Amino acid sequence: MLTEQELLATCITTFVAGHETTANLIGTGMLRLLRAPDQIQAMRDRPELTASAPDELLRLEPSVQITTRAATRPITVAGHDFEPGEGVVVLINSANHDERVFPDPDRTNVARYSDPMHPAKKHLGFSLGIHYCLGGPWPCWRWRSCSTCCCAKSVRWGWFRRIHRSSRTWPGSRSIRCCRATGFAV
């Protein structure tokens, strides 16, 4: 049974973890698409791609840039020995652009995760293992609604285009990636 304080802390954590990351992905994802107009067209031609686009955009623009893990027992990972308590800093964005895992890793390809028979390798945008994002499917759903609206023919992209040209695009943060100028950023 949670105490009132624990319950409150859990609510705050969930809200902050869920809101900031999702809002930021909408901004950075939109900017990514602006820089790849053929991908916007691809989603207009094949609306079902809006289902797989969030995964590709999160791979390219992970809202959370860094996570850490500590060894709980002596372990060797990739030829490096770790004693209990020793840790590593994982650079999520770097891992998501690993050319040994993702062919043509810098290219925006909204169809990358669209084929269930040949799925692309899992990205680290929601992390992995025991701390895997609790709200993983939820932001994708939100993003899908947003991107579907923006890709609809009636929506004008002029506003985003102005942002695309703006020099105030990226704020300086080592751990959180966002695009302030879109207004979708925390």
29 counts as binding ligand HEM under rule CB under 6 A: no
CB of 127 to ligand HEM, least distance (A): 3
Q: Which is nearer to ligand HEM, 27 or 125 (CB)?
A: 125
Give the CA distances from residue 23 to residues 63, 111, 173, 177, 180, in Å, rounded to whole numbers and listed in that order.
Answer: 9, 22, 16, 11, 10
Residue type (1 letter), 67: T
159 counts as binding ligand HEM under rule CB under 6 A: no
Q: Give the range of 42-50, 57-65, 71-79, 160-168 binding ligand HEM by CB under 6 A.
A: 57-65
User: How many Cβ atoms sit within 10 Å of the Cβ of residue 102?
Assistant: 20
Give the CA distances from residue 61 to residues 33, 45, 103, 145, in Å, rounded to whole numbers and listed in that order.
Answer: 11, 24, 17, 18
Cα separation, 74 vs 14, whole angstroms: 32
CB of 90 to ligand HEM, least distance (A): 8
- When binding is defined by CB under 6 A, the residue of 138, 155, 173, 175 that contacts ligand HEM is 138
Contact 172, 65 (CB under 8 A): no
Q: Give the range of 77-85, 110-118, 122-130, 159-167 binding ligand HEM by CB under 6 A.
A: 122-130
Q: Which is nearer to ligand HEM, 15 or 162 (CB)?
A: 15
95 counts as binding ligand HEM under rule CB under 6 A: no
Residue type (1 letter), 32: R
Contact 16, 120 (CB under 8 A): no
Residues at the contact surface with ligand HEM, assessed by CB under 6 A? 13-14, 17-18, 21-22, 25, 58, 63-64, 67, 125-127, 131, 133-135, 138-139
